[in-house]
């Protein structure tokens, strides 16, 4: 089961973004509270 952002996510849209570029993957929460930027790249 995919995680869902509790403030905006639902069964068809998790509210998160995932980008893949070459060997790097970035996951982000674009709707974070207080306009915070939350992302991680591995």
Ranges of each domain in the chain: 1-42
Q: Residue 9 CB: number of other CB atoms within 10 A?
A: 16
Residue-level pLDDT at 19: 95
Q: Which long-range contacts (CB under 8 A, 24 or more apart) does 7-12 make?
A: 7/31, 7/33
Q: Where are the beta strands (DSSP E) in 1-42?
A: 17-21, 24-28, 39-41
Query: Model pTM greater than 0.75?
Result: no
Q: Residue 18 CB: number of other CB atoms within 10 A?
A: 10
Q: What is the pLDDT of residues 1-42, one digit of tens each?
A: 778 888 888 888 888 999 999 999 999 999 888 989 899 999
């Amino acid at each position: 089961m995919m995680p869902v952002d509790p403030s905006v996510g639902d069964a068809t849209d998790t509210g998160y973004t995932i980008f893949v570029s070459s060997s790097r993957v970035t996951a982000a929460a674009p709707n974070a509270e207080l306009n915070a930027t939350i992302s991680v790249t591995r």
